[in-house]
């Protein structure tokens, strides 16, 4: 996935906060959550990015990297002359679910959706 902040930045910021002492209000739970996100990003991202890339290649062509392909898909979606296909909708749903799995795997609607599979 190409979302920000990167796992490396999350880990570096948590390490820095822990090394310098936790500021008032900066709980250890927040640090643990950030590390969990980074861990899930590192373990899940290769497969989800490959799947996203493959779907985008079908939808918008093989040119460019993942960010370029997402940009072209966004342009297609904004274009009133371009029809929104079932494949586009499916891609958006699957990509969103992959992002939720990294960021909020305990999110109730995500759990309900993933249990329905």
- pLDDT, one tens digit per residue, over 37-52 is 999 999 999 999 999 9
Q: What percent of the chain has pLDDT above 90?
A: 54
Mean pLDDT across the stretch 72-86?
94
Q: Where are the domains of the chain?
A: 7-116
Q: What is the mean pLDDT of the chain?
A: 87
* 27 pLDDT tier (thresholds 50, 70, 90): confident
Mean pLDDT across the stretch 71-78?
96
Give the model's pLDDT for residue 70.
96
Give the model's pLDDT for residue 2.
59
Residue 1 pLDDT > 60, yes or no?
A: no
Residue 114 pLDDT > 80, yes or no?
A: no
Task: Compute CA distances 67 → 20, 43, 53, 87, 98, whole Å.
Answer: 35, 20, 9, 19, 16
Encoding tokens for residue 58?
């079908």
Cα gap 17→48, rounded to integer Å:
30
Task: Compute CA distances 40 → 47, 78, 109, whole Å.
Answer: 12, 31, 19
* 73 pLDDT tier (thresholds 50, 70, 90): very high
Residue 34 pLDDT > 70, yes or no?
A: yes
């Amino acid at each position: 996935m190409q979302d920000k902040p990167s796992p490396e930045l999350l880990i570096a910021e948590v390490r820095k906060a822990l090394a310098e002492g936790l500021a008032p209000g900066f709980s250890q739970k927040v640090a643990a959550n950030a590390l969990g996100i980074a861990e899930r990003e590192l373990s899940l991202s290769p497969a989800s990015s490959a799947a996203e890339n493959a779907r985008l290649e079908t939808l918008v062509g093989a040119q460019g990297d993942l960010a370029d392909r997402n940009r072209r898909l966004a342009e297609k979606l904004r274009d009133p002359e371009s029809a929104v296909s079932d494949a586009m909708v499916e891609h958006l749903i699957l990509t969103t679910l992959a992002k939720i799995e990294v960021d909020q795997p305990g999110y109730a609607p995500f759990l309900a959706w993933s249990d329905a599979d």
